[in-house]
Amino acid sequence: MASATEWFDVASSDEIAEGDVRTYAAGATRVVVARADGSLYAVQDRCSHDDGPLGEGCLEGFAVQCPRHGARFDVRTGGVLTAPAVVGIGTFEIRETDGRVQVAAPAIDADEAW
């Protein structure tokens, strides 16, 4: 069965400047939001190489770099740009509405919430 998603309000639009990467909770999911070339992108906050926190990395162009071993990923697609990672990362839909940034992430199931 496909997992349902919902939109989560994560930040004010002016909180994320050009070149920024920041970590937010979108429901129960940790996401990294980046602003590159004037657009917002959202990716998972875990490097596929060793689960490093991508939100603590840096952004260069459209590439977010893991602070642990330097793996780089394209924030537009989640694709791997440099080793040691060989598997891409997840991406999420993102939008700006009325000065707020919202990310579509898995809905929180009340039966599974703790």
pLDDT band at 108, cuts 50/70/90?
A: confident
Mean pLDDT for the chain overall: 94
Single pTM value for the model: 0.91
pLDDT band at 114, cuts 50/70/90?
A: very low
For residue 23, being part of any structural domain is answered with yes
For residue 85, being part of any structural domain is answered with yes
Please answer whether residues 92 and 53 qualify as being in contact, where contact means their C-beta atoms are separated by less than 8 angstroms.
no
Tens digits of residue pLDDT in 44-90: 999 999 999 999 999 999 999 999 999 999 999 999 999 999 999 99
Residue 105 reports pLDDT greater than 60: yes
**Residue 42 corresponds to which tokens in the numbers above?**
């959202």
For residue 83, being part of any structural domain is answered with yes
**Integer Cα distance of 73 and 87 in angstroms:** 10
Number of domains in the chain: 1
- In which domain, by residue range, is 9 found? 5-106
The domain that holds 11 is classified in CATH as 2.102.10.10
**Residue 95 corresponds to which tokens in the numbers above?**
């939008």
For residue 113, being part of any structural domain is answered with no
For residue 10, being part of any structural domain is answered with yes
